[in-house]
Amino acid sequence: MVDDIARHFDTPDAWRGPEMQEETSWIYRLSPADIEEFLGAVKVAQATGKEMTAWAVEDFPLPGLSQTIAGWVNELNRGRGFQLIRGFPVRDHSKELCELVYWGLGLHMGTAVSQNTDGDVLGHVRDVGADPAAYGVRLYKTRAEQDFHTDGADVIGLFCLRSGKSGGVSRIVSSVAIYNELVKQRPDLASTLFGSFPFDAQNQQGEGQKPWFDFPICHEENGRLRTFFIPWYIRESQAHAEAPRLSDDQIACVEMIETIANREDFYLDMHFEPGDMQFLKNAAVLHKRTEYEDWDDLDEKRHLLRLWLASHQFLQGDEMLGKGIPTPESVEP
């Protein structure tokens, strides 16, 4: 079994950060025509009289960008697994209009899914003064560093409205490249990654459900590696006496993933500028955010919009959501 699983995945999503830093194919800069098309689509959608969350794709027409957007989705699905769109003039428009633009773009890339127990489908990533050390606190509500992890949807999207004073770097890494390196160093651990790990449910389990869930870090479908990884959820599962105890091999797997992910020869840094839109394939890319210092001015404080999308255009359509994981709000930090 080790020989079968412990193999190299030679797929486009097995990239290294330094090699991506040398090219710009993953960056698309919006043209004036692109921006005008977004603004025009907002007017069309508003004219329907529908609430934003009730819009259909046809309510937000983007005929000039349709092929480009299809290319982004294909790159997420079949290619490197990430895309950065740069240059929307957020300073020229209200935050409310920017929300409409981002939501409309999301319609063309997938279906928005809930991000928390409140049912939010368009999230706001900003510091609200929450204690990052408190159990169950979602770290996106703080300025603290978030270590490498995945979220709970096919595609994870962020739209930067305001950047912080310093720090807050978006750092991404290929989970496929990490796997290749791990099995190169420790092929005996490969089969462990494909077995179930306990994940803490962060008090968001349903009534009558256990406070943890079981899921493998890795699984393979159609020749592509899929990864689900939230290391502190794995460790915090051990607070529940009934949860399975982590084996020495499981602990070694988690520590090796974290170590490799944080190597400079693996990760890629993105310094968000206002107007940047980042999209990541959850099953192929781990992401983190470095700690940041914010501005004093409330209007200038770091503020990102977030979308979680289920993409019907992906190979499996539902990716992690169809694999027995609890609802998305149960698995995102």
pLDDT at 331 over 50: no
pLDDT at 54 over 80: yes
User: Which distant-in-sequence residues (6+ apart) come within 8 Å of 192 by Cβ?
Assistant: 247, 249, 250, 253
Domain boundary assignment for the chain: 2-327
Mean pLDDT of 44-61: 98
Q: DSSP string of 17-78?
A: HHHHHT--TTEEEPPHHHHHHHHHHHHHHHHTT--GGG--GGGS--TTTHHHHHHHHHHHHH
At residue 332 the predicted structure's pLDDT band, cuts being 50, 70 and 90, is very low
pLDDT of residue 134: 59
189 φ, ψ (degrees, to nearest 5): -90, -10
pLDDT at 184 over 60: yes
pLDDT at 36 over 80: yes
pLDDT at 315 over 60: no
* Mean pLDDT for the chain overall: 89
Mean pLDDT of 225-249: 96
CATH of 2-327 given 3.40.30.10, 3.30.110.40, 3.60.130.10, 1.20.140.10: 3.60.130.10
pLDDT of residue 322: 36
Mean pLDDT of 252-272: 97
pLDDT of residue 294: 83
Q: How far is CA 279 from CA 30, 81, 99, 198, 328, in A?
A: 15, 8, 16, 28, 17
At residue 136 the predicted structure's pLDDT band, cuts being 50, 70 and 90, is low
Mean pLDDT of 172-178: 98
pLDDT of residue 311: 87
Give the global pTM: 0.89
Residue 236: its H or E element:
helix 231-236
